[in-house]
Amino acid sequence: MSASGTAAAGQVEQLLRQVTPGRYDAYEALLRALATEQVWMLLWHGQAGSPDAQYGNMEVDGLGYAPCVTSAQELSASGWNRSYEVVRGTGIARTLYPDHYGLWLNPHAPGGGVGIPWLDLRRIATGLDALPAGPLRLAEPSIEIPQFYALLTQNAHRTPVVRSLRRAWVQPALGAPYLAIGLDVYDTSPPSVDAVRTMMRQSIPAVPEGLPVSTVAMSDDYDPVAMWLRANARPFYDREAQAAPAPAGGYGYPAQY
């Protein structure tokens, strides 16, 4: 192992010792170190690089994790006597998160090590600065901005690719809270993406100064904001509901409401 690799492994292990409940800054620093360095994945079956290689797995609070160690020294300390595979943090993140598996660092260590949930592996895989730091607190927005919603709804109606819009107030573990707009679209072709960007660009001027607004694709099965919106938020714009015919009255009587 190179000298730089040794120093990096030491950095990951130093940060591991700093992670405690509520220390989101230390945890975020750990994610950044993990994103650029290597881990030693413990193989339950097979050899590194072989078709039958299979990572170990463990379950904590109903969630699945693949165990690993953070250096050759920790591998020796763990007593693991089967094969292992050395993988970059970004590589293992891309492998695990689509199956909703997290990564557990040094489970043999005093205190049991530290678990990285699959949602944070997704952030490592796609870029830590591209997605908000969790855990997220999500709720219906309480801020009153009717002008923005009216303009956005008007522009959405003029953008045929938009099926519906939802909204949430998002408080990341680190950073400022923001308004998230969930975009449900009929297709994601380049012209459709450009049309949605134009819709948002035309609507943003109605947002009060200083209020951050972000968008999220409702089709993203791995985004925690999109998952919350699907489960908890009704659309404030729904093209198909607007187009639905009014219910007819029964036997000549007017419809009852």
In this structure, what token pair is assigned to residue 58? 């463990």
Which residue positions in the chain have pLDDT lower than 70?
1-9, 243-257
The pLDDT, as a whole number, for residue 243 is 65
CATH architecture of the domain 137-243 equals: 2-Layer Sandwich (3.30)
Instruction: Record the pTM.
Output: 0.83
The CA distance from 187 to 57, in Å, is 37
The dihedral over CA atoms of 239, 242, 243, 244, expressed in degrees to the nearest 10, equals: 120
For residue 86, the SS3 value is: strand
The pLDDT, as a whole number, for residue 51 is 87
Q: Are 118 and 92 in contact (CB under 8 A)?
A: no
The CA distance from 233 to 240, in Å, is 17
The pLDDT, as a whole number, for residue 79 is 94
Fold of 3-130: Trna Endonuclease; Chain: A, domain 1 (3.40.1350)
In the chain, what percentage of residues exceed pLDDT 90? Answer: 81
Q: What is the pLDDT of residues 149-194, one digit of tens each?
A: 999 999 999 999 999 999 999 999 999 999 999 999 999 999 999 9
The CA distance from 194 to 199, in Å, is 9
For residue 38, the SS3 value is: strand
- Ordered by start, the domain boundaries in the chain are 3-130, 137-243
Q: Do domains 3-130 and 137-243 have the same CATH topology?
A: no
